[in-house]
A and B are shown apart, each in its own frame.
Chain A
Amino acid sequence: MKRHLTWEFLMVRYPAFFPLILLVLALAINLFLQPNMFDRETLNSNMRVFLPLILLAVGQAIVLLGGGIDISVGGVVSIINTILATRVGLDGSPEKMWQFVMISLLVGALAGAINGFFIAYLRLQPIITTYATSFLYAGLALFILPNPGGGIPAEIANLYRTSTPLGLPLAFYVTAILLLVWSYVSSTRYGKYLFAVGGKATAAYETAVPVTRVQFSIYIISGFMAALAGIALTMLSGSGNAEIGGQMTLNSITAVVIGGNAFSGGIGGVAGPVMGAMTLSLIQNIISFAHINTWWETLAKAMIIVLALAVPGIINLIRRRRA
């Protein structure tokens, strides 16, 4: 049993171990700066802001696990936001809203399928392909809504903003459902294929894993999750802005990497990235509560993130030195 409790074992088998430490740390600091953090109202206002990034990070986590990367998710978020803001409108009916929510999910999956087709079937580089399509999607969003404006009915936005079933934020339930779904998916055959393709695609191919189809599927999942994130973000803001998703892509990748998933694929899960997304959002909170000069905000945030990314590497380095 002894050899099982090594650092490698923890990192490989429980990839969410390190992000959990980070999350607890971030929560502690945040609680110190904002003592009423766990009040129902504060908790809800925090979680509803965190949810879009959490959703995006889950999709990105699946892509990274399968050995790819999706840089176009921010563009998809923008498209969904502009579609909802222009098609539903501030005075739209709830029926219309739900109708377009469905359409949004389809659009997201389609955007992902375009990525997946290029990458899995035409064998193009994931990073190049999704970088290119990110401009396609961002451009499409600008085409739909050139100037910020439009929106969704306030009653529906409030449904998202203020619902706290059984005293817990709505976002909490969504996250719980995601984790439950993942714990199921990861133990299905598809889950095993995902790890196999991300781990070593050639070996997976020799073992008759449908590599191409798995690669195709991860981008559809990512597009779908980006659409969900876009819907959540639109309900949070209540209005339309074609540039709303722009900076979310990098945050989603950072969240996944902080969450302990290997950039090279095949290692990790979804719980870690969810925690990573929360940690990243908490860092944002901490920065604003610490009254750091606005000019320094980006620098401070970046330094914390770089440190969070470097710590596992530093621990490994120290261990190698000792060995």
Chain B
Amino acid sequence: MAKSLSARNIVKHYGGVVALSDGNLDVHTGEVVALIGANGSGKSTMSKVINGVVVLDAGQLLLDDKPVNFSSPQAAKNMGIATVFQELSLIPQMTVAENIWLTREPMTGFGTVNRSAIKEKTEQLLSLFRGTYKTELRPDDTVGSLPPDEKQLIEILKAISFNPWMVILDEATASLDSRQVERLFELIGDWKGTDKAIVFISHRMEEIFRIADKYSVLRNGKTVGAGDMKDINDKELVKLMIEKESVFSFSRADSKNDKKDKPICLEVKDLQTDSLHGVSFSVHEGELVGIGGLRGQGQRDLLLSLFGDIPYSGVISIFGNAIKLRHPRDAMKRGLALIPGDRAREGLLYIRSILENLILPSWAQYGFPLRIGKAKKDAEQAGASLNLKMAGLAEPVSSLSGGNAQKVVLGKWLMRRPRLLLLDDPTKGVDVGTKAEFYTLLTRLCSEGKTILFYSSTDEELVGMCDRVLVLYDGIIRTELSGASLTKENLIAASLGASNEGAV
């Protein structure tokens, strides 16, 4: 039976932030629609609207041309729409079978779960991916003990176990290995034939071109293009994803001087962690090097391992000295500072005062007993140099705006006079004015000889600010962009692993 779902002019705000301003999508049975867009273009919001996780602010959902309203994930499920989430909805303590059939267990006449039936049905589902498991996967294995890719497979099986007509795969291939992706694509092919519709969200260009029949491109919350995959190539797709006139008007005051004659500040050789698979690069003193790519390609692991926050293998040398970073204090001793983007969780003690937050990393240098007068004076100075707008040092950080709070995070590390700054998406949720101040500040720090490694999820920032940008893809440096090749188009193309990487 042919079915269809259409989203028309969807609007969704999160607080004051517009996630979707005009989202459109048409899905019919028997086709795979790729939902494409750069970071923050509204892809996930779109998928959350059609599976009922968020309630739309304006616009309309049409199921078989009749208006529908999904108030909860359950409502969408009852309409036969299943979602494979990237953030898994599995219960780690329970078994594979219990997880897949939770709330839909086959029952015996005595009101108990029919153990042989649940096992048999699970075996059937598991056989869909047989041969791609690392060890033999059994229905009574505990989910918590499985590797991430197998958890993801269970999540997929759970979604299709109630035989939906539409499956949304939200970056479902991200943690799968190539054999598992192959198998999934074969299955998607089968599903198409049995009157299912698939919405495929992926950041891998190659996968999109292999599996999708239609595409729908989002840019800044608007659907800017849709059509048949056979009528478009990857270059045209990338073009669609890019803003024509950039709202970003910052360019560095000093020309991006060549710093190749400066000494090497940081050298990384074959760095490996759970999500990094051999990264090597070096950074000269005074350079501002960007780290780009789509979210979750290993950027965070790179910064955290450089700060000694997570275990890694490989060699990290700072100013020519190879060191083993076992703890953030090892990195701090060598003049490193990590400015996290998630202020609330990692950067600040919100209920404590600005002063306490500012001197937290350096209180030891104010001696015992604490020389509070000197600490206050230094904090005042740091605040002034950052143009921090505050009622007083004794005020709690929670009284500051997002931009000013982020300045406190930066300030607390600048008080230690670091030589190498690691920035983890520092302008997330920061207002435009403060962003501009931030850019000026970063430029000034670089001209003062500080070295900066700058990860940002905003591509314009990287293009506008950095001397060079390392583009991460699947845990390796896919491309390095600098000089004339450092354009937004190249950056996005490289982020998606498209064919025209870096070449201009």
Contact = CB atoms under 8 A, between A and B. Distances in A.
Given A187-B112, A208-B77, A192 B98 contact: yes
B145 A8 contact: yes
Contacts of B144: 12
Given A13-B142, A189-B105, A189-B107, A196 B91 contact: yes
B88 interface: yes
A81 B218 CA distance: 67
Interface string B177-206: 000000000000000000000000000000
A321 interface: no
Interface string B141-171: 0101100000000000010000000000000
B94 A195 contact: yes
A203 B158 CA distance: 12
Nearest to B95: A13
Contacts of A9: 142
Given A12-B142, A204-B102, A189 B113 contact: yes
B399 interface: no
B111 interface: yes
Contact of A266 (B85, B90, B91): B91
B112 A3 contact: no
A196 B142 contact: no
Given A199-B94, A206-B73, A207-B89, A192 B142 contact: no
23 contacts: A12-B142, A12-B145, A188-B112, A188-B113, A189-B103, A189-B107, A189-B111, A191-B113, A195-B94, A196-B98, A199-B92, A199-B93, A199-B94, A200-B90, A200-B92, A202-B89, A203-B89, A204-B91, A207-B89, A208-B77, A208-B103, A266-B93, A267-B93
Nearest to A190: B111
Contact of B89 (A189, A206, A267): A206
Residue among A196, A207, A262 having the largest count of chain B Cβ atoms under 10 Å: A207
B102 A3 contact: no
B246 interface: no
A184 interface: yes
Q: How large is the interface on B (under 10, 10 to 19, 20 to 34, 35 or more residues)?
A: 20 to 34
A211 to B, nearest CB: 11
Interface in B77-114: 77, 85, 88-94, 98, 102-103, 105, 107, 111-113
Contacts of A8: 145
A9 B135 CA distance: 16
Interface string A188-221: 1101110110111011101111000000000000
Given A188-B112, A200-B91, A206-B85, 11 more contacts: A188-B111, A188-B113, A192-B94, A192-B98, A192-B105, A196-B94, A199-B94, A202-B89, A204-B91, A206-B73, A266-B94
Contacts of B142: 9, 12-13
Contacts of B92: 199-200
A188 B118 CA distance: 13
| Range for the number of chain A residues in contact with chain B | 20 to 34
Nearest to B138: A4
Nearest to B118: A192
Contact of A203 (B74, B88, B107, B113): B88
Interface in A223-272: 262, 266-267
Contact of A187 (B88, B90, B113): B113
Interface of B: 73-74, 77, 85, 88-94, 98, 102-103, 105, 107, 111-113, 115, 135, 142, 144-145, 158
Closest 9 CB pairs of A and B: A199-B91, A266-B93, A199-B93, A206-B89, A187-B112, A203-B89, A200-B91, A208-B74, A207-B102
Contacts of B73: 206, 208
Contacts of A267: 93
A9 B98 CA distance: 16
A204 B92 CA distance: 11
Contacts of B112: 184, 187-188
Contacts of B105: 189, 192
Given A188-B113, A192-B98, A203 B103 contact: no
Of the listed residues B77, B91, B103, B145, the one surrounded by the most CB atoms of chain A closer than 10 A to its CB is B91
B497 to A, nearest CB: 30
A267 B94 CA distance: 9
Contacts of A266: 91, 93-94
A187 B97 CA distance: 13
B375 to A, nearest CB: 36
Residue of A3, A198, A200, A204 contacting most chain B CB atoms (<10 Å):
A200
Contacts of A189: 103, 105, 107, 111, 113
Contacts of A202: 89
Interface string A58-81: 000000000000000000000000
Given A200-B92, A203-B88, A203-B90, A192 B135 contact: no
B93 A195 contact: yes
Nearest to A184: B112
A192 B145 CA distance: 19
Nearest to B144: A12
